[in-house]
Amino acid sequence: MLLQELTDLNAHGARDIATLAKTWEPILDRFPGWFWATDANYRLTYLSDNIGRITKTSREDLIGLYILDADYGDVRTEAGIAEYYDLLLKQEAFYNVCYERNLVEGKRIVFMDSGVPIFDADGRFAGYHGISLHVSHATEQAGATSSLVFALKNRADALEEELSRRNAELEAKNELLIEVLEAMGEGLMVTSGADLYDPNVVVEIVNPAYRKLFGLGPKDVQIGTSIPDLVGRLIRNGDVPNDPAKIDKMVKDMQAERPIVMDLGTQKKTTSVASSKRKDGGLILVHTDVTNLRSQNVKLEKALHTAEVATAAKSNFLATMSHEIRTPMNGIVGMADLLAETALSAEQNAYVETIRSSAQALTNLITDILDFSKIEADRLKLDIAPFVVRDFISEISGLVSGLARAKGLEFVVEIDRNVPQAVTGDSFRVRQILLNLLGNAVKFSLKGQVGLSVQTSAEQGGLTFCVTDTGIGIPDDMLEHIFTPFEQVEGGLRRGFEGSGLGLAITRDLVQAMEGDIRVTSQTDVGSTFTVELTLPEVALDRAIKHTAAPMDTVRLEGLRVLVAEDNKTNQLVVRRMLERAGVEITTANNGIEACALFAAQQFDLVLMDVSMPKMSGLEAAQAIRTQEAQQGLAPCPIVALTGNAFDKDRASAFEAGMDDFLAKPVRLRQLLECLSRNISTAEGKDPGAVKHARS
Ligand code: ADP
């Protein structure tokens, strides 16, 4: 009530409050408080008498003082006073605000103040009217409670301050986060749960990039949008397939954090979605627009396909060329071999030799080209087996020494005594490497010597082969180019050396296929040294010997009955002439069908089968013969493929069709006879009655 009256005094000034105080004086005598009033500058304009009683300060000393400076004389410290002053400065009404003052002698007094601002007729602040109540006795009863209240209040204030500081920080961070989400190029969608069919699972975060990707507006997808509703909209839009099985798979992939790719039909876009599970069970889905990447991939795939088609065409071309060249070469080589066996004049002999060596060069070239394309197409397979090093080197020496001798060169072989007796590796390919290098050493040397040395490498299980010559040498600037296909050093003395420029390219590739190393040092007009290091681990000698083919028994071929299936008349003639000279009885078939018919009607000891033939291929004919034998319970008759198709795959398909051996055209007389002997002796060895049985 008193406060109400105080409020009503608004704008009436100090005098009126004095009147009011007078009215209340009888009560105030016993009332532990006083009235006070200030002007607009917070100077005390009125204090009721009992201030002197309560604070032992006379009001005359206080009137006119700035309220915040009035120290009531004996009062020194304050608790809650700062807040009280803050309230005053706000020029707003306040009620029952407590603050504490400590008297000099140590007594603590607590005041409870209420105040109302007063305003003049123009609404300007004119000062305060207020009452201060001395409530120490009340709080004393409560003992520590009051200080606790202050302490708590202070603590609460501090906490409130900390809270608002943290809130401000959090808000700043939130703003930053929102900025990032809005700026990021990836579409972001965070869901409240992982069960995307549950209508209670909603969007928790979505950014503009997500909406852009799916062509959606802010209202179509926002925080709180139910996920099944959103999926429904995407299905209607045509950006999610209307196929429950596909959707199910997509959802399962997302739940399992598997990346998925989505084609957004209406947007003509492709997005890849990376999903991760949130700790509380929701999903974070990041959509990246991979439309450009996809179209680049499509282009690359097309380019790859074109390249594959081109490679396949190249392989086919090579296979066809190889076949087409090898077939007539068989005629040339075979006929030249036969011609050489007849009585010829010296001049005629020289011509025949030229035909033979030219044919050999051409055959080598075809083999090199096939080898090179095989390595290039990564189809080279190594055939690893144990072999005896000294036997291997002496076989190579046998081949090279003749060539060297013919050119008046010395050929020197050195094998270090540390070199193991037997090693394991692809001896066929090592032979090819060394023959290429030795062939060049002989070819490019006009005098002096060619050498081959073998030592153990510093590396465990390695052998180092050195091929040296005293030839024309290689200029420094060409040393790194000679391993490039078709690259040859030109000019000067070099004119007139035959070669394709493929030998060293193949050699280097073979060395690399065996994970070895090849180096060259050379000096023009002094000579060259090619060093090859290969890993060829040592093996027990007996294993290598077992593996090395036993020397072939020469089987007498006289009276042997051979069926030759061959469509090319020249080649029929070549084989007939070659074999008839060894006393072999020949029957010829012009195609597979004829071959099968003859095989069914007559007994043969061996079949020589061309592969590409009209009407029925050699492969089909071999299969038919094997079936026939099985049905009649006959022992298998040896079938040898004699073909211009000289790829590994041709060899493999010949064996698959049931053939026993493989000869590539052009075939040399010796090769053919050896092959026949080998197969006849194997057939006899396999089952002593086999050949007889087939003949009977
Ligand atoms: P080519 O069939 O021409 O011999 P290679 O690839 O074997 O092809 O060799 C490439 C070139 O490197 C040769 O043409 C030759 O110029 C040079 N070359 C290779 N070996 C020797 C060598 N031992 N001495 C001199 N030159 C060599």
pLDDT over 90 (residue 517): yes
Give pLDDT tens digits for 343-364. 889 888 888 888 887 787 787 7
Residues 180-211 pLDDT 10s: 888 888 999 999 999 989 999 999 999 999 99
Q: What is the mean pLDDT of the chain?
A: 81
Whether the per-residue pLDDT at 249 is higher than 80: the answer is yes
396 Cα to the center of ligand 1, angstroms: 19
pLDDT band at residue 614 using 50, 70 and 90 as cut-offs: confident
Q: Is 528 in the pocket of ligand 1 (CB under 6 A)?
A: yes
> Please, which contacts does 65-69 make with residues 24 or more away whose CB atoms are closer than 8 Å?
66/41, 66/42, 67/36, 67/38, 67/42, 67/43, 67/128, 68/42
Question: For residue 166, what pLDDT is reported?
Answer: 86
Distances (CA, A) of 670 to 245, 334, 352, 565, 664: 69, 11, 17, 20, 13
Distance from C-alpha of 21 to C-alpha of 29, rounded to nearest angstrom: 11
Over the stretch 443-492, which tens digit does the pLDDT of each residue have?
999 999 999 999 998 888 899 999 999 999 999 988 888 888 777 776 55
Q: Are strands 606-609 and 561-565 parallel, antiparallel or unpaired?
A: parallel
Q: What residue owns the CA closest to ligand 1's atom 25? A: 473
How far apart are the C-alpha atoms of 498 and 483, rounded to whole Å? 17
Spatial neighbors of 201 by CB under 8 A, at least 6 apart, are 191, 192, 193, 194, 195, 226, 227, 228, 282
The pLDDT of residue 293? 86
Instruction: Please check the confidence at residue 230 and state whether its pLDDT lies above 60.
Output: yes
**CA dist., res. 388 & res. 18, Å (int):** 132
Point out the ligand 1 atom lying closest to the alpha carbon of residue 490.
16
Per-residue pLDDT, averaged over 498-516, amounts to 84
Residue 696 has pLDDT above 50, yes or no: no
pTM over 0.75: no
**Pairing verdict, β 94-103 and 75-79:** antiparallel
Three-state SS sequence of 352-369: HHHHHHHHHHHHHHHHHH
Q: What is the pLDDT of residue 351?
A: 85
Q: Is the CB of 127 under 6 A from ligand 1?
A: no
> Nearest to residue 664, comparing CAs of 642, 638, 648, 679?
642
Any ligand 1 atom below 6 A from CB of 328: no
Q: What is the pLDDT of residue 551?
A: 46
Lowest model confidence (mean pLDDT) among 161-165, 284-288, 597-601: 161-165
Q: What DSSP character marks residue 43? A: B
Cβ distance 477 to 490 under 8 Å? no
Q: 530-544: per-residue pLDDT in tens?
A: 999 999 999 887 766
Q: Which helix (H) or strand (E) holds 108?
A: strand 108-119
Predicted pLDDT of residue 114: 84
Q: Comparing 190-194, 219-223, 579-583, 645-649, which segment has the lowest mean pLDDT?
A: 645-649
Mutate to test the pocket of ligand 1, among 438, 447, 474, 479 (most ligand atoms within 8 A of CB): 474
User: DSSP state, 391?
Assistant: H
DSSP state of 56: S
If you measure from the C-alpha of residue 455 to the centroid of ligand 1, how many angstroms do you get, rounded to a whole number? Answer: 24
469 touches ligand 1 (CB under 6 Å): yes
Residue 445: per-residue pLDDT:
92
Q: DSSP state, 494?
A: G
- Tell me the percentage of the chain whose pLDDT exceeds 90: 26
**561-576 per-position pLDDT tens digit:** 999 999 888 888 888 8
What is the structure's pLDDT at 692? 34
CB 283 within 8 A of CB 192: no
Which residue bears the tokens 């305060």?
128
Q: Whose CA is nearest to atom 20 of ligand 1?
A: 440
DSSP 616-665: S-HHHHHHHHHHHHHHHTPPPPPEEEEES--SHHHHHHHHHTT--EEEES
Q: What is the three-class DSSP state of 581?
A: coil
